[in-house]
Structure 1
Amino acid sequence: MSSSSQGNVVDDNDLDPVESSLQRIGCLEKHWAVQECYADHKDWRKCQTEVKDFRDCVSKSKKVDSPNSAVKH
């Protein structure tokens, strides 16, 4: 993955569709942290902090994107 001099900006052309979507919502770094943790440990139980952070990021993004986010069904 290529990054620019602006920090952790990744060229969208280098990403698959899932990573591209995660970058748009601001959760790509959390996604990579989960992948890296699992690659290091090969055990999801040891990656619960990373998984929770990623899940929280995605949930927060969905609440911001949803016009009816305050309404519970």
Structure 2
Amino acid sequence: MVESKEPANKIVVDADEPDEWEQRIFSTGCSAENLNMTDCYYEKKDWRACKKEMKIFRECWKQHGNLQRTGTKEA
């Protein structure tokens, strides 16, 4: 008989289910804007080149009341 070396209480994460981080982003109402902003940074490796995407995300953040919800202060 071969014994498994896997722990009995191993947690299996379903890759199709949103993780905690994704759930937080979805709850802001700005997940598409966040994705566009992070994709821009990934492609250009410079936040200064993504000012348009950052502005769109910031406007979405305000429109969905996230400044009050998260205690964010506008710079």
Range into which the TM-score falls when normalised by the shorter chain: 0.5 to 0.7
How many corresponding residue pairs? Answer: 53
Query: Over the residues paired in the alignment, what is the CA RMSD in angstroms?
Result: 2.1
Q: Identity across aligned pairs (percent)?
A: 32
Q: Could you say what secondary structure the match of 1:45 adopts?
A: helix
Equivalent residue, structure 1, for 2:55: 52
Structure 2 distance, partners of 1:45, 1:31, is 16
> Equivalent residues in 2 for 1:1-73 (5 A)?
13=17, 15-62=18-65
Structure 2 gap segments, 5+ residues each:
1-15, 70-75
Query: Which one has a bigger Cα radius of gyration?
Result: 2
Structure 2 distance, partners of 1:21, 1:62, is 14
Q: Which has the higher contact order (CA 8 A, sep 6+)?
A: 2
After TM superposition, the runs of 4+ consecutive aligned structure 1 residues lying more than 3 A away are none
Q: Could you state the TM-score of these two structures normalised by the residue count of structure 1?
A: 0.59
Bigger fraction of residues in helix: 1
Q: Could you state the TM-score of these two structures normalised by the residue count of structure 2?
A: 0.58
Structure 1 gap segments, 5+ residues each:
1-10, 67-73
Per-residue CA deviation, residues 5-57 of structure 1 (Å, 9 max, x unaligned), is xxxxxx6x2x3333323323321000000110000000000000001101110
